[in-house]
Amino acid sequence: MEFTKGHGTGNDFVILPDPDGRLALTPELVAAVCDRRRGIGADGVLRVVRAAKHPDAVGLAGQAEWFMDYWNADGSFAEMCGNGVRVFARYLTAGGLAEGGPDGLPIATRAGVVRAVPAHATTGAAGTAGAGGWAGDLAVDLGRPRILGGGVATVGPLTLPGVEVDCGNPHLVCTLAAGIELSDLDLLRAPGYDREAFPTGVNVEFVTPAGPVGGADGHVRMRVYERGSAETLSCGSGACAVAAVVLRDAGRDGGRIAVDVPGGRLTVTIDGDRCWLAGPATLVAHGEFDPAALTG
């Protein structure tokens, strides 16, 4: 199988081209590919397939040509991945599979159709069309996060109150109390949470405030434990969930929040029904692997 390796702020993916939906992709193969010692190593797999050729996306084919078939590292499906969408858009535009029009590049996901654009387009800058306009950071509109209610996460002896947020996938945002540092958290194991509230699992974000950043209405630091992938260096949809909670707690309906993750910095801009997630998207390698060697 051919593959490309890419990442967004350290959240890394194996990208598998499969335009006509012919690959025999299984949970076992995905888990083997993502194994960091016996496989290529990644937080997940992005299968690049035309929406019209995948049963989960055929109903969206009229809105988007390409479907991001996202699998977690353990071989389970996920509805959305904010960093993954940016890397997916980078792959499409860099490979000439899509150009993106004046309204951006529509991409079908299990959470619906989202739109990717060059990051400068979200600030009103000119030059969004053409291949050159996609050379820098990318942004994706994931739609405004929905704050649903409260919850609790447990990490070792700590019980941490959180806020449930829907970004197309489930999140529990836990703002740490004074005296608790991100470095204090042992995330080698999954945090505890109410499994009745989150029957398919949940991404848990841990947040502390940071100093002012120019051009931002807020600045925080975040660690995240992703369902199906364990702790990752970054979570794009998680950054959106965090920004929604930070702005709500500040009494603001919208604004721009800088979110520092272990893998770098993401910027989230919430404006009306839009939530723009902006940051780098990098392709680092291309090659081939033998599926039988990974699963044998």
Which pair of tokens denotes residue 87?
Answer: 């890397």
Give pLDDT, residue 52: 98
pTM > 0.85:
yes
What is d(CA 82, CA 142) in angstroms, rounded to the nearest whole number? 7
What is the dotted CATH code of the domain comprising 146-272?
3.10.310.10
DSSP class of residue 110 equals T
Give pLDDT, residue 94: 95
DSSP β-ladder status, 255-261 and 230-232: unpaired
Q: Which residues of the chain have pLDDT under 70?
A: 123-133
Residue spans per domain, the chain = 2-143+281-295, 146-272
**pLDDT tens, position by position, 175-213:** 999 999 999 999 999 999 999 999 999 999 999 999 899
What is d(CA 275, CA 206) in angstroms, rounded to the nearest whole number? 20
Give pLDDT, residue 123: 60
What is d(CA 152, CA 154) in angstroms, rounded to the nearest whole number? 7
Give pLDDT, residue 121: 76
DSSP class of residue 226 equals E
Instruction: Say which of 34, 167, 235, 240 is annotated catalytic.
Output: 235
- 174 as an active site residue: the answer is no
What is d(CA 17, CA 45) in angstroms, rounded to the nearest whole number? 11
Domain 2-143+281-295 is in which class?
alpha beta
Sorted by sequence, the CB contacts under 8 Å of residue 261 that are 6+ apart come out as 9, 10, 221, 222, 223, 224, 233, 234, 235, 239
Instruction: Say which of 81, 167, 174, 240 is annotated catalytic.
Output: 81
DSSP β-ladder status, 138-141 and 146-155: unpaired
Give pLDDT, residue 127: 38
- 81 as an active site residue: the answer is yes
